[in-house]
Amino acid sequence: MSHFVFERSGNILDLDEHVDGKHFFLRIAWDMKNFSVPESEVRAAFTPLAKEFGATWQISFTARKLRVAIFVSKLDHCLQEILWRQRSGEFDVEIPVIVSNHEDLRPLAGQYGIPYVVFPITEVNRREQENKELSILKEHAIDTIVLARYMQILSPEFVEHYPNQIINIHHSFLPAFAGSDPYGQAYERGVKIIGATSHYVTKDLDEGPIIEQDIIRISHKDGVSDLVRKGRDLERLILARALFYHAQHRILVHGKKTIVFA
């Protein structure tokens, strides 16, 4: 792989590899400035080598920023974190639209000049509203969706449109305390640590490949409200990390697992 880059006058900037059983994983980044093959022909040039090794592969060009849609409900902490980091230049992404099932966070979107669209969801209109959401995503040429505490379960049909491109934050250290009210569950169990998990969304609730996790210690003095407060700090940081790795094309999905070249 490195020879492929070298013989075409590419300058390797970063190279990571990992072996897991019978599988070899590689991420290689190189400067295209003096590369002898134009961007439009790189994939065709690489295909014979990929076939030789029977590789599953993709090539991404960082000059094209990922277009990210953020889905939210009423809580703003994860959305605030992402918008602040994107404005500060930490995230090399574009955020052309914010989608919600409530009006509550429209003023925040307005502060950043981002269109905010609302699709109220009920069990009766879910399919119809999801179709409208998909139309908005197509209109804005969205690559990736971030569920920044979007309190709705996406249908399998919706998820199929964005395989390994929907990033969720779960306010729990999965697989523990999945489902609703994880902080209440953790408090009743008397745990000494709580966590947050960011993962890709699949048709199986809260079981998608995990991207990033972290924990914070708590004590017997902490009530449920303390767990929620501390947990929200984790949620915003873990989701931000996950989006950063994703936008940098540092995540390889292998079955139910991820290899993250952080």
Instruction: Identify the pLDDT of residue 92.
Output: 87
- Helix extents (H) in 21-173: 39-53, 77-87, 106-111, 126-139, 156-159
Residue with tokens 């879910």: 126
Kindly state the average pLDDT of the residues 93-102.
Answer: 98
Residue 88 neighbours by CB under 8 Å, 6+ apart: none
Contact, 171 vs 235, CB < 8 A?
yes
55 has pLDDT over 90: yes
Whole-number Cα distances in Å, 65 to 13, 126, 204, 246: 19, 31, 29, 12
35 has pLDDT over 70: yes
Sheet with 193-200: strands ordered across:
116-118, 93-100, 66-72, 144-147, 166-170, 193-200, 210-217
Residue with tokens 């790189």: 42
171-207 pLDDT, tens per residue? 876 567 776 677 788 888 888 888 899 999 999 888 8
Q: Which two tokens stand for residue 85?
A: 């980091």
Instruction: Please list the residue range(s) of the chain that carry CATH number 3.40.50.170.
Output: 66-260
How many Å apart are CA 71 and CA 145, to the nearest integer? 7
Q: Is 48 exposed, middle or buried (0-12, 13-18, 19+ CB in 10 A)?
A: exposed
126-173 pLDDT, tens per residue? 999 999 999 999 999 999 999 999 999 999 999 999 999 999 998 876
Instruction: Identify the pLDDT of residue 67.
Output: 98
Q: Which residue in 206, 214, 222, 226 is the catalytic one?
A: 206
Mean predicted lDDT score pLDDT of the chain:
94
Name the residue with higher pLDDT: 172 or 71: 71
Domain 66-260 CATH (choose: 1.10.20.10, 1.20.1250.20, 3.40.640.10, 3.40.50.170):
3.40.50.170
Active site residue 104: no
